[in-house]
Amino acid sequence: MKKMEILNSGKAKTVYKTDDPDLLVMEFRNSLTAFDGAKKSSVPKKGYYNAIISKRIFGLLEENNIKTHYKYMFSDNEMVVDAIEIILVEVIVRNIAAGSIVKKYPFKQGQPLEPPVVVMDYKDDERHDPMLNEDIAAALGLATKEELAQIRKTALIINDILISFLEPRGLLIPDFKLEFGRRGNEIVLGDEISCDTCRFWDKQTKNSLDKDIFRFDKGDLASAYHEVARRIVPEVIK
C-alpha cells in the first residue's frame, strides 16, 4: 500500500489518500490547539503517544465487537484506516462533570454524572460546535434519528468498555469525544481516542493527564501523555 497526497489536514492530524481507494493513512501530529484553534503549540512525541493509545483502544473495542475504522499501524504515528464517510457529529460522553458542562450548567466540577450524560454537537469550529438535537441533525441532513439512536447506544457501550479497562490502570475518564462514519451500510467508529479527545484523571490524585494541561497551563503535557501511554500500553512504553 502506497501513501499518496494529502486528503485533508486538521488541527492535530493529517489524512492522506493511498493507492487503495478504500484506505487512508491518518497521521497523528505533534501540533495541538485549543479553544477552536485560538491557542496553538507543538509538543515532541505527542503524535506518537496519541497514536499508540488510540491503536490500543481501537483494538480493545474491536475485541468487544465495536466496529472501528482502524486497520493497522503504518508507522509509529500513522495508522491505516478505512475511508469512511464522516458524520459531522461530535458525540461526547460524560461520567464526571468537567469542562464546558460546568461552565454552561449548574454542575459542580468533579460531580459524578449517573447515569452518564451523552451530548451531540455539530462538528463546525467556525460555529463553535453548537449542540444538536435530533430534529436539527435530521434537518441538516447529518444523520437520521435512527442513526443517532444507534450512535448513542454504541457510545454508551464504548463508555462501559473504557471504564472497565481504565479503572485497574488507575485512570478515571470524566468525559470523551467520539466521531462516527459510514462504511457501506454500517456505522463505524472513526477519528481517535487519545489524550487529545478524552479527559483522563489519575484515580488517586484526580490530576489531569490530558489536553486540559495545555488548555489551562497545568504542567508538562509530554510527561502526562507518557504516563497515560505507560498505563495503557505498558508492553511498549516503560
Binding site for ligand 5GP (CB under 6 A): 90, 92, 99-100, 129, 175-177, 196-199, 211
> Can you read off the three cell numbers belonging to residue 14?
493529517
Nearer to ligand 5GP, 117 or 157 (CB): 117
**211-230 as b/e: b if 16+ CB within 10 A:** bbbbbeeeeebeebbbbbbe
> Can you read off the three cell numbers belonging to residue 75?
508507522
Q: How near is the Cβ of 58 to ligand 5GP at its closest, in Å?
A: 16
Nearer to ligand 5GP, 3 or 45 (CB): 45
- Asked if 135 and 141 count as a contact pair (C-beta separation under 8 A), the reply is no
Nearer to ligand 5GP, 199 or 226 (CB): 199
Q: Residue 215: left (phi > 0), alpha (psi -120 to 50), or beta?
A: alpha
Q: How near is the Cβ of 196 to ligand 5GP at its closest, in Å?
A: 5
Q: How near is the Cβ of 22 to ligand 5GP at its closest, in Å?
A: 26
Spatial CB neighbours of 233, under 8 Å, sequence gap ≥ 6 = 52, 53, 55, 56
- Asked if 215 and 196 count as a contact pair (C-beta separation under 8 A), the reply is no
Nearer to ligand 5GP, 46 or 177 (CB): 177
Nearer to ligand 5GP, 23 or 51 (CB): 51
Q: How near is the Cβ of 152 to ligand 5GP at its closest, in Å?
A: 15
Is residue 118 exposed (0-12), middle (13-18) or buried (19+ Cβ within 10 Å)?
A: middle
Name the residue with the smallest CB distance to ligand 5GP.
Answer: 99
Q: Which residue has the cell 435530521?
A: 138
Q: How near is the Cβ of 98 to ligand 5GP at its closest, in Å?
A: 6
Nearer to ligand 5GP, 27 or 90 (CB): 90
- Asked if 99 and 175 count as a contact pair (C-beta separation under 8 A), the reply is yes
Q: How near is the Cβ of 67 to ligand 5GP at its closest, in Å?
A: 21
Nearer to ligand 5GP, 3 or 152 (CB): 152
- Cis peptide bond prior to 21, omega within 30° of 0: no
Helix axes 145-166, 46-63, angle to 10 degrees: 110
Q: How near is the Cβ of 10 to ligand 5GP at its closest, in Å?
A: 9
